[in-house]
């Protein structure tokens, strides 16, 4: 797979995409520009789908917002559907991922607001400390551009590898300048990473896939990202020009409300971190 098109599909290995409709089917008239209809929002099941379900149940009616959630088990189709108009908004990605998607796919999607950080973590069944990885250890990382770069930067922050100073959010194994432990970097589909833990020495796993697999990022990871100055906060995204859609503005207001911040803190207990000030 060419690096420029390595945006991940979490179900390629299964040969099919499972797309779940969480809250009813909706109608085509509610999409593609009708700002008075039902807002259709794409999301991965955890944590985005759960946060949106809470808003639907407890907050949306008071705000006068009618929205439908469609859940996806991959990282490509929510943006493709948003660009094509079958979604009005989505919540599942960070800004670097969105920027890379726009660049590689020629789309014009944009962020409305940051909501929370699903911290990426290092997980292992063979060591309790990243720095204790043995020489020649196999470390699995996501195989899409931005999440791989994020994983490598995380490993670099722990001193087990060094990267070129200008590697940034799209760092690749080719940007590793020092690898004293001779770590073997194994690129895998993000959804496969939790299942790889039996076969590798460590894996750098996206938060949603860790939660889906029954892992607690706070309790089970050997190292977890901090929210401070973190560019990987998950965002509510729309097609450029739709930021002023009144339905989108209402949802953004609810997503950054004190009630949602409290919900995230109480439900995820540090495994998902609300953005400061939300």
Q: Which of 206, 224, 242 is the last residue of a domain?
A: 224
Instruction: Report how far residue 54's alpha carbon sits from residue 67's, in angstroms, rounded to the nearest whole number.
Output: 12
Instruction: Give the pLDDT of residue 59.
Output: 98
Residues 173 and 40 in one domain: no
DSSP 8-state secondary structure symbol assigned to residue 46: I
Residues 155 and 241 in one domain: no
Per the CB < 8 A criterion, the answer to whether 76 and 112 are in contact is no
Residues 6+ positions from 101 with CB-CB distance below 8 Å? 7, 76, 79, 93, 107, 109
Return the closest-CA partner of residue 83 out of 98, 69, 65.
98
Domain interval for residue 61: 3-119+230-274
Is residue 53's pLDDT more than 80?
yes
pLDDT-derived band at 7 (thresholds 50, 70, 90) equals: very low
Residues 240 and 197 in one domain: no
Tens-place pLDDT, residues 244-258:
999 999 999 999 999
Residues 88 and 14 in one domain: yes
Per the CB < 8 A criterion, the answer to whether 233 and 274 are in contact is no
Instruction: Give the pLDDT of residue 275.
Output: 87
Q: Which of 207, 224, 241 is the last residue of a domain?
A: 224
Return the closest-CA partner of residue 108 out of 123, 98, 121, 97.
98
Distances (CA, A) of 193 to 15, 209, 236, 246, 253: 17, 8, 25, 39, 34
Peptide bond into 16 cis (omega under 30): no
Instruction: Give the pLDDT of residue 4.
Output: 39
pTM value is 0.74
Residues 219 and 141 in one domain: yes
Residues 8 and 108 in one domain: yes
Residues 31 and 137 in one domain: no
Tens-place pLDDT, residues 55-109:
999 999 999 999 999 999 888 999 999 999 999 999 999 999 999 999 999 999 9
Label the pairing between strands 39-43 and 67-72.
parallel
Helix (H, G, I), strand (E, B) or coil at 274: strand
Q: Which of 183, 206, 224 is the last residue of a domain?
A: 224
Calculate what percentage of the chain has a pLDDT beyond 90. 78
Is residue 13's pLDDT more than 70?
no
Residues 60 and 100 in one domain: yes
Residue indicated by tokens 């290995």: 13
**Cα Rg, the chain, nearest whole Å:** 19
Q: How many domains does the chain contain in total?
A: 2
For the four alpha carbons of 266, 267, 270 and 274, in that order, the dihedral sign comes to negative
Residues 57 and 112 in one domain: yes
- Here the CATH number for the domain that contains residue 87 is 3.40.190.10
Residues 102 and 90 in one domain: yes
Residues 126 and 177 in one domain: yes
Instruction: Give the pLDDT of residue 25.
Output: 36
Instruction: Report how far residue 80's alpha carbon sits from residue 131's, in angstroms, rounded to the nearest whole number.
Output: 39
Return the closest-CA partner of residue 115 out of 211, 236, 8, 246.
236
Is residue 14's pLDDT more than 60?
no
Residues 9 and 97 in one domain: yes
Task: Find the angle CA(277)-CA(150)-CA(236) to the nearest 5 degrees.
Answer: 40
**How confident is the model over 22-47, as a mean pLDDT?**
68
**How confident is the model over 205-234, as a mean pLDDT?**
91
What does residue 82 show for φ and ψ, rounded to 5 degrees? -65, -45
């Amino acid at each position: 797979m060419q690096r420029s098109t390595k945006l991940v599909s979490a179900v390629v290995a299964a040969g099919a995409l499972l797309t779940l409709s969480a809250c009813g089917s909706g109608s085509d008239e509610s999409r593609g520009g009708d700002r008075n209809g039902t807002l259709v929002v794409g999301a991965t099941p955890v944590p985005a789908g759960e946060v949106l379900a809470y808003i639907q149940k407890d907050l949306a009616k008071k705000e006068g917002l009618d929205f439908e959630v469609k859940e996806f088990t991959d990282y490509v189709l929510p943006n493709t559907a948003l660009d094509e108009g079958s979604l009005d908004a989505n919540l599942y990605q960070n800004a670097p991922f969105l920027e890379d998607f726009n660049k590689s796919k020629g789309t014009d999607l944009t962020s409305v607001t940051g909501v929370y950080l699903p911290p990426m973590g290092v997980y292992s069944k063979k060591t309790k400390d990243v720095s204790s990885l043995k020489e020649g250890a196999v470390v699995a990382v996501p195989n899409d551009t931005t999440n791989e770069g994020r994983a490598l930067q995380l490993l670099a922050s722990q001193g087990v590898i060094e990267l070129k100073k200008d590697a940034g959010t799209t760092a690749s194994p080719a940007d590793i300048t020092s690898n004293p432990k001779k770590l073997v970097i194994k690129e895998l589909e993000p959804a496969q990473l939790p299942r790889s833990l039996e076969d590798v020495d460590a894996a750098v796993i996206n938060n949603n896939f860790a939660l889906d697999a029954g892992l607690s990022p706070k309790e089970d990871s050997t190292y977890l990202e901090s929210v401070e100055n973190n560019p990987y906060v998950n965002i509510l995204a729309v097609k450029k020009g739709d930021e002023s859609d009144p339905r989108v503005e209402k949802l953004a207001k609810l997503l950054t409300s004190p009630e949602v911040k409290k919900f995230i803190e109480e439900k995820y207990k540090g495994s998902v971190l609300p953005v400061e000030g939300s």
